[in-house]
Structure formats: structure tokens, C-alpha cells
Structure 1
Amino acid sequence: MPRNHVGANIDRSEFYGVLQRMVDALFQDLQDLEGEDATVRRLDVVLAAETYDLPDELTRLVGLLPPGDYTRLRLCDQLNSAITGHAWGQVYGTVS
């Protein structure tokens, strides 16, 4: 696993940042058209996770999202809460 910083004690996963790329892709075109009110459905997020071939831990995390529509802020809050709860922030990264 690649190191995140010289002298750091945390190994980053090869999947570090993949959730950020997934969130960016989900909202890229939508925010251009709809602005900050753009939403995606839970199913859209689950399908995107499958497309990005996430590791099992992150796939399960995405699968635990409650049904509904998500603005970017709400989706990031949900994902970051779960990431933080599992102490995976330094391994997989958080999203914004």
C-alpha cells in the first residue's frame, strides 16, 4: 500500500479518493443544470459504486444508505459519517 506522507504512520488504500471521484461524477452534469439543489437517488449511488468496483467495505457502506434522494451535501454527510464511524477516513478518504 502506498504511504500518504513521508513519516506518516497510516497506509492508504489503493482505493483512497475513489469515493470522491464517484461523488464528483454523480453530480458533475447535474450541478451544471440544477445547481446546489441537484439530487441523485440512492439507486444511482449504489450503481455508481458497482461501476467504480469499490472494495467490499465501501460497497457495503454505500449499500447502507437509507432510501431517498440525496443532494451532494446530504450524500457526503451520510458517507462521511459512516467512514468516520469505521475510522476509514485516513485509509479511503472522505468526500465533499
Structure 2
Amino acid sequence: MFGTDIRSEDYGELQRVVNAVFAPGISSLATCSKLDVVARAEIFDLCDDLREVVEALPSRTYTRQRLCDQLNSILVGHGWAGVYGTVE
């Protein structure tokens, strides 16, 4: 079908990373660093494209919402949101 992205078998893997970095029940004020996200991505052995997304994160501290916004921005910028999914 024209204009429809085909989902990768890695669809949703970044959501898994975000959920692992920010466990359920954790305060909305909790933060993580880019290094925390990169380390979790390595543990989950993400595909090359998703590792590229994680590596593109600016080095800073993130709340869950800010991390999701940044990851989604990178995914959209690469045209991969439909292929790999967005995060929340």
C-alpha cells in the first residue's frame, strides 16, 4: 500500500529501552543520562539503526518525557517512526 511504512521486527524496541531506564512507578522527576540509555541499548543489543538513534542523543540529563521527545524527534527526522515506532 502506498505511503505505509512496513514495521521492522525491531518495532517497539526503543520503548523497551525507555521502560527499562524509567521503571514503572518511578517519579516523573527522575532523570537519566545519555550514558544510561546507551548502556541499556547495548544490553538489549539494538539493531544498527536504533543504536544510531540512541547515539544521536545529545549528552545531557533527561526526564522520561524529555527523553521520549528527543528520541521521537530523531526517529521522525530519519523517517523511521513508522518502521520502529515512537516512544512514550
- TM-score (ref. length: structure 2): 0.90
Cα distance, 1:30 vs. partner? Answer: 7.0
CA distance in 1, matches of 2:57, 2:81: 18
Unaligned 5+ runs, structure 1: 1-7
Greater share of helix: 1
Task: Report the 3-state secondary structure (helix = DSSP H, G, I; strand = E; otherwise coil) of the residue aligned with 2:10.
Answer: coil
1:14 — aligned with what? 9
Q: Is the 8 A contact 1:39 1:70 kept in 2?
A: yes
Unaligned 5+ runs, structure 2: none
1:64 — aligned with what? 56
> Which piece of structure 1 moves more, 8-17 or 19-28?
8-17
CA deviation string 1:24-45 (max 9, x = no partner): 11100671xxx11000111000
CA distance in 2, matches of 1:56, 1:15: 11
- TM-score (ref. length: structure 1): 0.83
2:34 corresponds to 1:42: yes
Query: Which gives a bigger RCO, structure 1 or 2 (Cα 8 Å, sep 6+)?
Result: 2
Runs of 4+ aligned residues of structure 1 deviating over 3 Å after TM superposition are none
Q: What letter corresponds to residue 14 of structure 2 in structure 1? A: L
Which has the higher Rg, Structure 1 or Structure 2? 1
CA distance in 2, matches of 1:10, 1:68: 31
1:91 — aligned with what? 83
